[in-house]
Amino acid sequence: MAVKAGDGKNVWPQFRQALGLKRPGLRLFSWGYNYGLPGEEAPILNALRAGSEGHIINAEVEVARLSQQKADAWVENLVEAVRQEFPDALLAHAPLPIIGNFPNFPYETFNRLGLAAMPQFYTKALGTGSNYPLERLVRIWDEASWEVKPPAIYPILQGYDRQTAENLRAEGQECLRLFGGFSVWRWGTITEAMWRSLATLA
């Protein structure tokens, strides 16, 4: 389970509150939305100090709008600040999935620094499943000309809006086959039917 720990450089207290949810077999990670600004390591460090087992950096359009040089430098500085205190922390990032649409986004820098990729494979939100079905999103990532490949890819699937239990199960099954794992966004919008369909994959 991943709980939001901050927005930008602002620390959210809810992560420390979520520590009370920990049970045997349940792993608790943190995540935060990022804008490519200085000081955004604060929520990450706060969560790791509190007991997070790893952190997911959610950088999207704001970082993509930076120059390539600034975007790369931001990632390098952020990761370095975290690894100075937590050199072995599990770190990942959750980028926008259409790589070609964001030429300045630091996909390669995240890869080079060893962060797992959790691309947002929101098939319904990306065109009601017709413009960007799972197969096309997988192909985009499979055919990307990386200088350094992501150490691991664990897509995030859509669990809100027009998603159906049947489609979510099918996408989850395919992600397990291709990548060995996946996540679903987000807790409050996943229906009971979706939970039941996901349980059949366990």
Give all domains of the chain, ordered by start, each with its CATH number. Answer: 1-118 (3.20.20.80), 129-202 (no CATH)
Strand partners, 54: 90
Looking from the CA of 123 toward its CB, the CA atoms found within 13 Å total: 18
Question: Which amino acid appears at position 80 of this protein?
Answer: E
Region 147-168 average pLDDT: 96
pLDDT at 111 over 80: yes
Q: Give pLDDT, residue 129.
A: 53
For residue 68, CA distances in Å to 24, 43, 72, 103, 106 come to 43, 24, 6, 8, 7
Q: What percent of the chain has pLDDT over 70?
A: 99
pLDDT at 142 over 60: yes
pLDDT band at 127 (very low <50, low <70, confident <90, very high): confident
Is 105 within 8 Å of 145 (Cβ atoms)?
no
- Specify the 3-state DSSP secondary structure of 4: strand
Q: What mean pLDDT, rounded, does the chain reach?
A: 95
Which helix H or strand E contains 5, and what residues bound it?
strand 2-7
Can you give the pTM of this predicted structure? 0.95
Alpha-helical runs (H) found in 131-186: 134-142, 165-179
Region 100-107 average pLDDT: 96
Q: Give pLDDT, residue 16.
A: 85
Q: How far apart are CA 202 and CA 1, in angstroms?
A: 15
Q: How far apart are CA 5 and CA 13, in angstroms?
A: 7
pLDDT at 23 over 90: no
Strand order in the sheet with 183-185: 120-121, 156-158, 183-185
pLDDT band at 58 (very low <50, low <70, confident <90, very high): very high
Token readout for 69 is 């040089």
Q: Give pLDDT, residue 82.
A: 98
Region 23-50 average pLDDT: 94
pLDDT at 96 over 60: yes
Q: Give pLDDT, residue 67.
A: 98
Q: What is the DSSP string of 7-39?
A: ETTEEPTHHHHHGGG--TT---EEEEEE-S-TT
pLDDT at 66 over 70: yes
pLDDT band at 17 (very low <50, low <70, confident <90, very high): confident
